[in-house]
Amino acid sequence: MARDLLPLFPLQAILFPRTQMPLHIFEDRYKTMIGEALENSTEFGIVLAQERGVVNTGCTAIVSKLMKRYDDGRMDIIVVGRRRFEVYELDQELEYLRGSVTFFDDEDTEPPVKAHLEQAIRGYYSCRTIEGAAPLPDPDLNDPQLSFQLAQAVPELEFRQALLSIRSEAERLKHLAKFFPPYISKQKQQAHFRKIVPQNGHGKLKEEA
Q: What is 12-46 written as a DSSP string?
A: SS---BT-EEEEEE-SHHHHHHHHHHHHHT--EEE
Helices (H), 71-209: 114-127, 146-150, 157-165, 169-196
- Name the amino acid, one letter, at 178: K
Q: Does domain 6-104 have CATH number 2.60.40.150?
A: no
Best CA proximity match to 48, nearest among 59, 37, 39, 40: 59
Q: Global pTM?
A: 0.88
Q: What is the model's pLDDT at position 20?
A: 97
pLDDT at 209: 40
- Note the pLDDT of residue 4: 85
| Residues 126-176 pLDDT 10s | 999 987 778 999 999 999 999 999 999 999 999 999 999 999 999 999 999
DSSP letters for 42-107:
--EEEEEEETTEE-SEEEEEEEEEEEEE-TTS-EEEEEEEEEEEEEEEEE-SSSS-EEEEEEE---
Do the beta carbons of residue 37 and residue 63 sit within 8 Å? yes
Question: Looking at the chain, which residues constitute the CATH 2.30.130.40 domain(s)?
Answer: 6-104
pLDDT reported for residue 109? 87
Low-confidence ranges of the chain (pLDDT < 50): 1-2, 205-209
User: Would you mind telling me the total number of residues written for the chain in this entry?
Assistant: 209
CA-CA distances (angstroms) from residue 61 to 37, 74, 138, 189? Answer: 10, 18, 20, 36
Quick one: angle between helices 169-196 and 114-127, nearest 10?
Answer: 30
